[in-house]
Structure 1
Amino acid sequence: MEVIDLTKTIFDGMPVYSGDPEVKIDVATTVKKDGHEVRSLRLGSHTGTHVDAFSHMHEGMASLDDIPLTQFYGRAVRVTPKMDFPAHTGLFFGEDVGEDVLEKIIAASPPFVGGSLSEELESGLLAHKIVTYTDLVKLDLIPSGEVFTFFGLPLKIENGDGSPVRAIAVLGE
Protein backbone atom coordinates (compact mmCIF):
# COMPACT_ATOMS: atom_id res chain seq x y z
CA MET A 1 0.00 0.00 0.00
CA GLU A 2 1.23 3.48 -0.90
CA VAL A 3 -0.23 6.75 0.40
CA ILE A 4 0.25 9.88 -1.74
CA ASP A 5 -0.43 13.30 -0.24
CA LEU A 6 -2.16 15.40 -2.95
CA THR A 7 -2.36 18.50 -0.74
CA LYS A 8 -0.71 21.90 -1.18
CA THR A 9 0.84 23.24 2.01
CA ILE A 10 -1.01 26.27 3.40
CA PHE A 11 1.32 29.07 4.48
CA ASP A 12 1.20 32.72 5.46
CA GLY A 13 0.91 34.97 2.41
CA MET A 14 0.53 32.10 -0.08
CA PRO A 15 -0.92 32.96 -3.50
CA VAL A 16 -4.73 32.84 -3.70
CA TYR A 17 -7.32 33.14 -6.48
CA SER A 18 -7.92 36.77 -7.44
CA GLY A 19 -10.44 38.32 -5.06
CA ASP A 20 -10.16 35.58 -2.40
CA PRO A 21 -9.09 36.50 1.14
CA GLU A 22 -5.35 36.58 1.80
CA VAL A 23 -3.88 33.83 3.96
CA LYS A 24 -2.71 35.09 7.33
CA ILE A 25 -1.21 32.70 9.89
CA ASP A 26 0.03 34.09 13.20
CA VAL A 27 1.33 32.54 16.39
CA ALA A 28 -1.36 33.23 19.01
CA THR A 29 0.28 31.46 21.97
CA THR A 30 3.59 29.69 22.58
CA VAL A 31 4.65 26.80 24.80
CA LYS A 32 7.34 28.96 26.38
CA LYS A 33 4.99 31.83 27.29
CA ASP A 34 1.55 30.18 27.58
CA GLY A 35 2.20 26.46 28.11
CA HIS A 36 0.75 25.54 24.70
CA GLU A 37 1.13 26.56 21.08
CA VAL A 38 -1.80 27.81 18.99
CA ARG A 39 -1.98 29.42 15.52
CA SER A 40 -4.51 32.01 14.43
CA LEU A 41 -5.71 31.27 10.89
CA ARG A 42 -7.35 33.68 8.43
CA LEU A 43 -8.07 32.22 5.03
CA GLY A 44 -10.80 31.75 2.47
CA SER A 45 -12.86 28.61 2.15
CA HIS A 46 -11.22 27.91 -1.23
CA THR A 47 -7.60 28.19 -0.09
CA GLY A 48 -5.03 25.67 -1.34
CA THR A 49 -6.25 22.14 -2.03
CA HIS A 50 -9.99 22.38 -1.48
CA VAL A 51 -13.41 20.91 -2.18
CA ASP A 52 -16.32 22.87 -3.61
CA ALA A 53 -19.90 22.41 -2.44
CA PHE A 54 -22.75 22.73 -4.93
CA SER A 55 -23.66 26.08 -3.31
CA HIS A 56 -20.26 27.50 -4.36
CA MET A 57 -21.62 28.38 -7.80
CA HIS A 58 -25.35 27.69 -7.51
CA GLU A 59 -27.57 29.58 -5.09
CA GLY A 60 -29.93 27.37 -3.12
CA MET A 61 -28.00 24.14 -3.73
CA ALA A 62 -26.51 22.03 -0.93
CA SER A 63 -23.68 23.35 1.23
CA LEU A 64 -20.91 21.20 2.73
CA ASP A 65 -22.85 20.30 5.84
CA ASP A 66 -25.74 19.00 3.69
CA ILE A 67 -23.66 16.77 1.38
CA PRO A 68 -23.26 13.14 2.54
CA LEU A 69 -19.75 12.21 3.69
CA THR A 70 -19.75 9.38 1.14
CA GLN A 71 -19.31 11.99 -1.59
CA PHE A 72 -15.91 13.03 -0.20
CA TYR A 73 -14.11 9.69 -0.44
CA GLY A 74 -14.15 6.46 -2.41
CA ARG A 75 -12.87 4.64 -5.48
CA ALA A 76 -11.18 6.91 -7.98
CA VAL A 77 -9.03 6.80 -11.10
CA ARG A 78 -6.73 9.26 -12.87
CA VAL A 79 -7.97 9.73 -16.42
CA THR A 80 -7.48 11.76 -19.58
CA PRO A 81 -10.41 13.26 -21.51
CA LYS A 82 -9.96 10.63 -24.27
CA MET A 83 -10.25 7.60 -21.95
CA ASP A 84 -13.44 5.73 -21.15
CA PHE A 85 -14.59 6.77 -17.68
CA PRO A 86 -15.63 4.01 -15.27
CA ALA A 87 -19.12 4.42 -13.82
CA HIS A 88 -19.69 5.68 -10.26
CA THR A 89 -15.94 6.22 -9.70
CA GLY A 90 -14.24 9.51 -8.80
CA LEU A 91 -12.28 11.03 -11.69
CA PHE A 92 -9.02 12.98 -11.49
CA PHE A 93 -7.49 14.76 -14.45
CA GLY A 94 -3.73 15.33 -14.60
CA GLU A 95 -4.16 17.97 -17.31
CA ASP A 96 -6.31 21.06 -17.89
CA VAL A 97 -9.86 20.11 -18.88
CA GLY A 98 -12.73 22.22 -20.15
CA GLU A 99 -16.47 21.90 -20.37
CA ASP A 100 -16.24 19.85 -23.58
CA VAL A 101 -16.03 16.72 -21.36
CA LEU A 102 -19.00 17.68 -19.15
CA GLU A 103 -21.57 15.36 -20.76
CA LYS A 104 -19.11 12.45 -20.79
CA ILE A 105 -18.40 12.95 -17.09
CA ILE A 106 -22.09 13.27 -16.22
CA ALA A 107 -22.80 10.00 -18.07
CA ALA A 108 -20.24 8.22 -15.82
CA SER A 109 -21.98 9.58 -12.69
CA PRO A 110 -18.88 10.08 -10.49
CA PRO A 111 -19.36 11.28 -6.90
CA PHE A 112 -16.42 13.69 -7.30
CA VAL A 113 -14.05 15.09 -9.93
CA GLY A 114 -10.69 16.75 -9.37
CA GLY A 115 -7.82 18.37 -11.20
CA SER A 116 -7.30 21.54 -13.20
CA LEU A 117 -10.92 22.17 -14.13
CA SER A 118 -12.14 25.17 -16.12
CA GLU A 119 -14.61 27.40 -14.29
CA GLU A 120 -17.34 26.40 -16.78
CA LEU A 121 -16.70 22.68 -16.22
CA GLU A 122 -16.65 23.12 -12.46
CA SER A 123 -19.97 25.01 -12.55
CA GLY A 124 -21.55 22.31 -14.72
CA LEU A 125 -20.36 19.52 -12.44
CA LEU A 126 -21.60 21.27 -9.31
CA ALA A 127 -24.98 21.87 -10.99
CA HIS A 128 -25.22 18.08 -11.46
CA LYS A 129 -24.34 17.45 -7.78
CA ILE A 130 -20.79 16.28 -8.49
CA VAL A 131 -18.31 17.53 -5.88
CA THR A 132 -15.16 19.17 -7.30
CA TYR A 133 -11.59 19.29 -5.94
CA THR A 134 -9.00 21.81 -7.11
CA ASP A 135 -5.40 22.78 -6.44
CA LEU A 136 -4.29 19.17 -6.04
CA VAL A 137 -0.59 18.33 -6.36
CA LYS A 138 1.34 15.19 -7.33
CA LEU A 139 -1.47 13.69 -9.43
CA ASP A 140 1.28 12.54 -11.80
CA LEU A 141 2.39 10.03 -9.14
CA ILE A 142 -0.87 8.11 -9.61
CA PRO A 143 -0.64 5.70 -12.57
CA SER A 144 -3.20 6.60 -15.23
CA GLY A 145 -6.14 4.21 -15.29
CA GLU A 146 -5.24 2.54 -11.96
CA VAL A 147 -8.06 2.47 -9.41
CA PHE A 148 -7.18 3.87 -5.98
CA THR A 149 -9.01 5.06 -2.87
CA PHE A 150 -9.33 8.82 -2.43
CA PHE A 151 -10.02 10.80 0.75
CA GLY A 152 -10.72 14.56 0.73
CA LEU A 153 -12.80 15.33 3.80
CA PRO A 154 -13.82 18.97 4.33
CA LEU A 155 -14.18 20.80 7.61
CA LYS A 156 -17.81 20.69 8.76
CA ILE A 157 -18.60 24.35 8.12
CA GLU A 158 -22.20 25.44 8.58
CA ASN A 159 -23.50 26.61 5.16
CA GLY A 160 -19.98 26.00 3.82
CA ASP A 161 -19.45 26.71 0.13
CA GLY A 162 -16.05 25.01 0.21
CA SER A 163 -13.25 23.94 2.51
CA PRO A 164 -9.53 23.24 2.48
CA VAL A 165 -8.95 19.47 2.67
CA ARG A 166 -6.12 17.04 3.30
CA ALA A 167 -6.41 15.06 0.07
CA ILE A 168 -4.80 11.63 -0.13
CA ALA A 169 -4.68 8.76 -2.59
CA VAL A 170 -4.23 5.21 -1.27
CA LEU A 171 -2.80 2.90 -3.93
CA GLY A 172 -2.41 -0.87 -3.92
CA GLU A 173 -4.91 -1.79 -1.23
Structure 2
Amino acid sequence: MHLIDLTHTFTDEMPVYPGDPLPKLEQITNLEKDGYNDHELTSVMHVGTHMDAPLHMIKDGKTMNQIPVDHFFGKGVLLDARGKEKIEPELLTGRTIELGSIVLIYTGFGTRYRDASYYEKNPNVTEEFAEAMVKAKVKIVGMDILGPDAPPFPTHKILLGKGVLIIENLTNLEKLLDIPQFEVIALPMKLQSDAAWVRVVARY
Protein backbone atom coordinates (compact mmCIF):
# COMPACT_ATOMS: atom_id res chain seq x y z
CA MET A 1 0.00 0.00 0.00
CA HIS A 2 1.23 3.49 -0.86
CA LEU A 3 -0.02 6.86 0.40
CA ILE A 4 0.29 10.32 -1.14
CA ASP A 5 -0.45 13.35 1.01
CA LEU A 6 -2.46 15.90 -0.99
CA THR A 7 -2.58 18.46 1.84
CA HIS A 8 -0.68 21.71 2.31
CA THR A 9 1.00 22.19 5.69
CA PHE A 10 -0.95 24.66 7.82
CA THR A 11 1.21 27.63 8.80
CA ASP A 12 0.63 31.31 9.53
CA GLU A 13 2.38 32.15 6.26
CA MET A 14 -0.24 30.59 4.01
CA PRO A 15 -1.90 32.66 1.29
CA VAL A 16 -5.52 33.62 1.89
CA TYR A 17 -8.45 34.51 -0.32
CA PRO A 18 -8.15 38.22 -1.18
CA GLY A 19 -9.70 40.26 1.62
CA ASP A 20 -9.62 37.49 4.24
CA PRO A 21 -7.53 37.94 7.40
CA LEU A 22 -4.26 36.08 7.65
CA PRO A 23 -4.20 33.00 9.88
CA LYS A 24 -2.32 33.29 13.15
CA LEU A 25 -0.61 30.20 14.54
CA GLU A 26 1.58 30.94 17.52
CA GLN A 27 3.18 29.13 20.41
CA ILE A 28 1.66 30.30 23.70
CA THR A 29 3.50 28.08 26.21
CA ASN A 30 6.87 26.34 26.22
CA LEU A 31 8.54 23.48 28.02
CA GLU A 32 11.12 25.60 29.82
CA LYS A 33 8.65 28.05 31.37
CA ASP A 34 5.38 26.12 31.57
CA GLY A 35 6.40 22.48 31.49
CA TYR A 36 4.58 21.85 28.21
CA ASN A 37 4.20 23.22 24.69
CA ASP A 38 0.92 24.56 23.35
CA HIS A 39 -0.11 26.57 20.29
CA GLU A 40 -3.07 28.83 19.57
CA LEU A 41 -4.72 29.11 16.16
CA THR A 42 -6.85 32.00 14.94
CA SER A 43 -8.11 31.61 11.40
CA VAL A 44 -11.03 31.67 9.02
CA MET A 45 -12.07 28.26 7.73
CA HIS A 46 -11.40 28.95 4.07
CA VAL A 47 -7.62 28.86 4.10
CA GLY A 48 -5.18 26.08 3.33
CA THR A 49 -6.47 22.72 2.18
CA HIS A 50 -10.08 22.80 3.31
CA MET A 51 -13.51 21.37 2.56
CA ASP A 52 -16.68 23.37 1.95
CA ALA A 53 -19.92 22.09 3.46
CA PRO A 54 -23.32 23.04 1.99
CA LEU A 55 -23.89 25.79 4.58
CA HIS A 56 -21.06 27.76 2.97
CA MET A 57 -23.37 28.81 0.14
CA ILE A 58 -26.77 27.24 0.83
CA LYS A 59 -29.30 28.63 3.30
CA ASP A 60 -29.99 26.04 6.01
CA GLY A 61 -27.42 23.74 4.40
CA LYS A 62 -25.62 21.07 6.39
CA THR A 63 -22.67 21.97 8.57
CA MET A 64 -19.50 19.89 8.38
CA ASN A 65 -20.32 17.85 11.49
CA GLN A 66 -23.62 16.78 9.90
CA ILE A 67 -21.98 15.07 6.92
CA PRO A 68 -21.91 11.25 7.30
CA VAL A 69 -18.36 9.96 7.68
CA ASP A 70 -18.72 7.55 4.74
CA HIS A 71 -18.94 10.61 2.48
CA PHE A 72 -15.21 11.19 3.00
CA PHE A 73 -14.00 7.99 1.32
CA GLY A 74 -14.29 7.10 -2.35
CA LYS A 75 -12.73 5.92 -5.56
CA GLY A 76 -10.49 8.63 -6.94
CA VAL A 77 -10.68 10.09 -10.43
CA LEU A 78 -7.94 12.47 -11.60
CA LEU A 79 -8.73 14.90 -14.42
CA ASP A 80 -5.70 16.48 -16.09
CA ALA A 81 -6.73 20.07 -16.75
CA ARG A 82 -3.30 21.62 -17.21
CA GLY A 83 -3.40 24.55 -19.60
CA LYS A 84 -7.18 24.87 -19.40
CA GLU A 85 -8.75 28.24 -18.65
CA LYS A 86 -12.12 26.59 -18.14
CA ILE A 87 -12.93 23.24 -16.59
CA GLU A 88 -15.68 21.93 -18.85
CA PRO A 89 -17.55 18.63 -19.35
CA GLU A 90 -15.29 17.78 -22.31
CA LEU A 91 -12.68 16.75 -19.74
CA LEU A 92 -14.91 13.79 -18.97
CA THR A 93 -14.88 12.42 -22.51
CA GLY A 94 -13.90 8.76 -22.43
CA ARG A 95 -13.87 8.67 -18.64
CA THR A 96 -16.09 6.55 -16.44
CA ILE A 97 -17.18 8.34 -13.28
CA GLU A 98 -18.63 5.81 -10.88
CA LEU A 99 -21.32 6.59 -8.34
CA GLY A 100 -19.74 7.97 -5.18
CA SER A 101 -16.41 8.86 -6.76
CA ILE A 102 -14.15 11.66 -5.56
CA VAL A 103 -13.04 13.74 -8.54
CA LEU A 104 -9.74 15.65 -8.37
CA ILE A 105 -8.97 18.40 -10.89
CA TYR A 106 -5.27 18.86 -11.59
CA THR A 107 -4.60 22.30 -13.07
CA GLY A 108 -0.95 22.68 -12.11
CA PHE A 109 -1.69 25.86 -10.18
CA GLY A 110 -0.73 24.16 -6.92
CA THR A 111 2.92 24.92 -7.68
CA ARG A 112 2.08 28.64 -7.38
CA TYR A 113 0.51 28.27 -3.95
CA ARG A 114 2.76 30.78 -2.18
CA ASP A 115 3.01 33.12 -5.17
CA ALA A 116 0.78 36.09 -5.96
CA SER A 117 -0.01 34.52 -9.35
CA TYR A 118 -1.99 31.82 -7.54
CA TYR A 119 -4.87 34.30 -7.39
CA GLU A 120 -4.53 35.53 -10.94
CA LYS A 121 -6.27 33.94 -13.91
CA ASN A 122 -6.75 30.61 -12.21
CA PRO A 123 -9.02 28.21 -14.10
CA ASN A 124 -12.76 28.49 -13.71
CA VAL A 125 -14.92 25.41 -13.12
CA THR A 126 -17.98 25.91 -15.31
CA GLU A 127 -21.57 25.46 -14.28
CA GLU A 128 -21.92 22.76 -16.94
CA PHE A 129 -19.10 20.77 -15.37
CA ALA A 130 -20.71 21.14 -11.96
CA GLU A 131 -24.01 19.86 -13.37
CA ALA A 132 -22.16 16.86 -14.82
CA MET A 133 -20.69 16.10 -11.39
CA VAL A 134 -24.13 16.28 -9.81
CA LYS A 135 -25.54 14.00 -12.50
CA ALA A 136 -22.73 11.51 -11.90
CA LYS A 137 -23.55 11.58 -8.17
CA VAL A 138 -19.96 12.07 -7.05
CA LYS A 139 -19.25 12.71 -3.38
CA ILE A 140 -16.58 15.38 -3.63
CA VAL A 141 -14.88 17.57 -6.23
CA GLY A 142 -11.37 18.67 -5.24
CA MET A 143 -8.90 20.99 -6.98
CA ASP A 144 -5.44 22.54 -6.69
CA ILE A 145 -6.77 26.10 -6.97
CA LEU A 146 -8.25 28.51 -4.44
CA GLY A 147 -11.81 27.82 -5.59
CA PRO A 148 -13.94 26.74 -8.54
CA ASP A 149 -15.45 30.13 -9.42
CA ALA A 150 -15.87 33.81 -8.57
CA PRO A 151 -18.82 35.84 -7.22
CA PRO A 152 -21.74 35.19 -7.37
CA PHE A 153 -20.35 31.61 -7.07
CA PRO A 154 -22.74 29.67 -9.33
CA THR A 155 -20.55 26.55 -9.42
CA HIS A 156 -20.27 26.46 -5.65
CA LYS A 157 -24.04 26.68 -5.36
CA ILE A 158 -24.73 23.93 -7.90
CA LEU A 159 -22.39 21.48 -6.19
CA LEU A 160 -23.14 22.30 -2.57
CA GLY A 161 -26.85 22.60 -3.30
CA LYS A 162 -26.87 18.92 -4.28
CA GLY A 163 -24.61 17.76 -1.46
CA VAL A 164 -21.40 17.53 -3.50
CA LEU A 165 -18.63 18.77 -1.22
CA ILE A 166 -15.72 20.89 -2.46
CA ILE A 167 -12.05 20.67 -1.52
CA GLU A 168 -9.82 23.64 -2.36
CA ASN A 169 -6.05 24.16 -2.31
CA LEU A 170 -4.88 20.59 -2.89
CA THR A 171 -1.26 19.78 -3.64
CA ASN A 172 0.82 16.92 -5.09
CA LEU A 173 -1.83 15.96 -7.65
CA GLU A 174 0.91 15.47 -10.26
CA LYS A 175 1.98 12.38 -8.32
CA LEU A 176 -1.28 10.70 -9.34
CA LEU A 177 -0.84 11.12 -13.09
CA ASP A 178 0.61 7.65 -13.64
CA ILE A 179 -1.53 5.85 -11.08
CA PRO A 180 -4.53 4.27 -12.83
CA GLN A 181 -6.51 3.39 -9.71
CA PHE A 182 -6.51 4.99 -6.30
CA GLU A 183 -8.77 5.75 -3.37
CA VAL A 184 -9.20 9.17 -1.78
CA ILE A 185 -9.53 9.64 1.97
CA ALA A 186 -10.52 13.19 2.93
CA LEU A 187 -11.19 13.60 6.64
CA PRO A 188 -12.23 17.11 7.75
CA MET A 189 -12.32 18.28 11.33
CA LYS A 190 -15.74 17.64 12.85
CA LEU A 191 -16.69 21.28 13.22
CA GLN A 192 -20.15 22.82 13.47
CA SER A 193 -19.31 25.24 10.69
CA ASP A 194 -19.62 25.90 6.97
CA ALA A 195 -16.18 24.44 6.25
CA ALA A 196 -13.25 22.68 7.88
CA TRP A 197 -9.60 22.02 7.32
CA VAL A 198 -9.09 18.59 5.85
CA ARG A 199 -6.30 16.03 5.57
CA VAL A 200 -6.53 14.49 2.10
CA VAL A 201 -4.65 11.32 1.19
CA ALA A 202 -4.60 9.16 -1.93
CA ARG A 203 -4.10 5.44 -1.35
CA TYR A 204 -3.12 2.86 -3.97
TM-score by length of 1: 0.90
Number of the residue aligned with 1:139: 173
- The equivalent of 2:73 in structure 1 is 73
Q: Quick one: structure 1 residues 142 and 9, their matched pair in 2 at CA, closer, same or farther if it must change by over 3 Å?
A: same
> Is 1:54–2:48 an aligned residue pair?
no
User: Which secondary structure does the structure 1 equivalent of 2:187 belong to?
Assistant: coil
Following the alignment from structure 1 to structure 2, what is the Cα–Cα distance between the partners of residues 59 and 30?
Answer: 43
CA contact (8 A) 1:79 1:145 kept: no
Larger deviation: 12-21 or 46-55?
A: 12-21
What does 1:83-98 align with in structure 2 at a 5 Å threshold? 83=93, 84-88=95-99, 89-95=101-107, 96=123, 97-98=125-126
Q: Is the 8 A contact 2:131 2:158 kept in 1?
A: no
Q: Give structure 2 stretches of 5+ with no counterpart.
A: 81-90, 108-122
2:141 to 106, 113, 117: 113
1:82 aligns with 2:92: yes
Q: CA deviation at 1:47?
A: 1.4
Name which of 115, 123, 128 aligns with 2:162. 128
The answer to whether the 8 Å contact 1:6/1:169 transfers is: yes
Aligned-partner Cα distance in 1 for 2:131–2:178: 21
Please state whether the residue corresponding to 1:164 is helix, strand or coil.
strand
Cα distance in structure 1, aligned partners of 2:24 and 2:62: 28
1:34 aligns with 2:45: no
Moved over 6 A (4+): none
Residue pair 2:14, 2:47 contacting (<8 A) in 1 also: no
Report how far residue 85 of structure 1 moved. Answer: 3.9
Q: Which amino acid aligns with 1:86?
A: I
How many percent of aligned residue pairs carry the same amino acid? 30
Counterpart for residue 13 of structure 2: 13
Closer, same or farther in 2 for the Cα pair 1:9/1:157, shift >3 Å? same
Please name the residue that 1:149 is paired with.
183
Instruction: Tell me how far apart the structure 2 counterparts of residues 82 and 44 of structure 1 sit (CA, whole Å).
Output: 33
Structure 1 gap segments, 5+ residues each: none
Q: Contact (CA 8 Å) 1:114, 1:132: kept in 2 or not?
A: yes
Describe the shift of the 1:144–1:56 C-alpha distance in structure 2 as closer, same or farther (beyond 3 A).
farther
- Report the TM-score, using the length of structure 2 for normalisation: 0.77
Tell which deviates more after alignment, 79-88 or 131-140: 79-88
**Corresponding residue for residue 130 of structure 2:** 102
Q: Secondary structure at the match of 1:59?
A: coil
